[in-house]
Structure 1
């Protein structure tokens, strides 16, 4: 199956299965396709200490070994490879570009606009998300350029620009899945027409992938961020096809039932699409983001997850006091909020980072760019 075939099958399953689940449950279909979304129909469960503690333990077990390895190796500087020290020395010789300072100033300006209520700025205070993130994207590209001499914006402009429409299209998938669990909702959309909502949402949605992928590149330029993760525990599966079929079946069943049990299956909004696309790629013989597991190369996954978490922090920070913003309603764990997001909700950004890289690789062949840039960097530092 071609790459286009994988994308089409993925979209058919991820869009169709939840609706089939709703029909099977006998729920009215209209409220799930309402546009813009206005009705609140999911009754979320209240906070539960047993669930909160259980999920905290599961998240710690999933992330803890990698975090401990990176921290422990970084506490032993002599264990860092020699080429990392050389690379850092050469990277710090480059000045931060002027357009990076422009990005920082631009971001700071819109941050002030977003968090203040000056009467003269009322017309733009509902539209600060996009300029804030354009400034962030410009800044991370500048920082990457200062460290490596390369960045997506300057050296792969076609790929960089392609990320914007791809981002807008891909985020609508998550917005669609959220209709079945209603874990977040936007304040102030009730007054918008369908066209106004589409346009005002599409433009901010277009900044998600450029921000995450740009942050991946920046974090990758710091050897300490992923130290030890390129030679971690290999995971070799001796029945890859059978495991892939299992993942495919589980993800399909989960997405089918997500509208029936939203309080219990809401994590599948973030995990389900990843398992689905990875299993499809594996079954048709295409490389996946998890293929490096067999060699013990976890650095790419680790950095991708961290990049989304970094972006998530700024998404939630800038959303917090903005006039136009989103709020959360997460069952069982809605407590200990950092900005609007409950603390455990930040764990959702980790698989989301893997999904961002998977989307970019599947649709735009990001892996080819990574290999090309790595060759250039290695040749430049010999």
Structure 2
């Protein structure tokens, strides 16, 4: 830890950000030239580059970042990210909202690509959220304090269940609801077992993290669609 404090803000600790920037530029150039593996795996190259860049910026601002200081947490996010996204992929078997094209024929290579791509979702969103927070965005936001009782858990579970079932029954009209279903089902569990919880923030009258997550979702959503547009292997709605 003293070593990390000592090198914070120096050129050395910015190395992973520089590496990410170089990787992003090179992968985009080589993808456009049709060079493998960048043509097939461009989406993953772009997202992992982005994560490195954002983490480096966060470290320079705060002297503390997910990759540098909370490495174990960072690596734990990856399997959780894959697992959560596979839930949406499972739902999409019924929704049929998107499908993939130009996938590798070899099954294990295809699944390696899935895992590389899916594992970026949570790190990308949380890194972006932390960057926005480190810039003090929504720092002074406030709401009326809310007393969270077990009744709130029931309400959240009902809404979450509806949000998951409705898209399966009426996919043409309700498919966007599925993205919120997981939040409503998991948030009461976080609050009940004293985890990091948006409900607990609302009890304190602080909506900052909620706003930051929404903003991060919009930013990441923009990059998802932008990089997917240029990728050879991609999803199509």
Common topology (TM > 0.5): yes
CA distance in 1, matches of 2:56, 2:30: 23
Match of 1:307 in 2: 216
Counterpart position of 2:146: 236
Shift of 1:254: 4.0
CA root-mean-square deviation: 2.4
Residue from 70, 73, 92 that aligns with 1:159: 73
Q: Distance in 1 between matches of 2:217 and 2:184?
A: 18
Partner of 1:76: none
The alpha-carbon distance between structure 1 residues 295 and 124, as it changes in their structure 2 partners (threshold 3 A), is closer
| Contact 2:164–2:177 (Cα < 8 Å) also in 1 | yes
Contact 2:57 2:131 in 1 (8 A): yes
Counterpart secondary structure, 1:326: strand
**What is the rounded CA distance, in whole Å, between the counterparts of 2:190 and 2:75 in structure 1?**
25
Give the number of equivalent residue pairs.
227
In structure 2, list runs of 5 or more residues that go unmatched: 1-7
Distance (whole Å) between structure 2 residues aligned to residue 126 and residue 103 of structure 1: 19
Report matched runs for 1:287-326 at 5 Å.
287=195, 288-326=197-235
Contact 1:94 1:146 in 2 (8 A): yes
1:1-382 → structure 2 map (5 Å cutoff): 94=9, 97-114=14-31, 116-118=32-34, 121-189=35-103, 192=105, 195-223=108-136, 225-229=137-141, 232-237=142-147, 240-282=149-191, 284=192, 286-287=194-195, 288-328=197-237
Tell me if the contact between 2:201 and 2:207 (Cα under 8 Å) persists in the aligned partners: yes
The TM-score normalised by the length of structure 1 is 0.54
Task: For 2:172 and 2:190, locate their aligned partners in 1 and report how far apart those are by CA, in whole Å.
Answer: 29
Distance in 1 between residues matched to 2:48 and 2:174, nearest whole Å: 34
CA displacement, residues 28-47 of structure 1 (integer Å, 9 cap, x when unaligned): xxxxxxxxxxxxxxxxxxxx
Describe the shift of the 1:247–1:151 C-alpha distance in structure 2 as closer, same or farther (beyond 3 A): closer
Larger Rg: 1
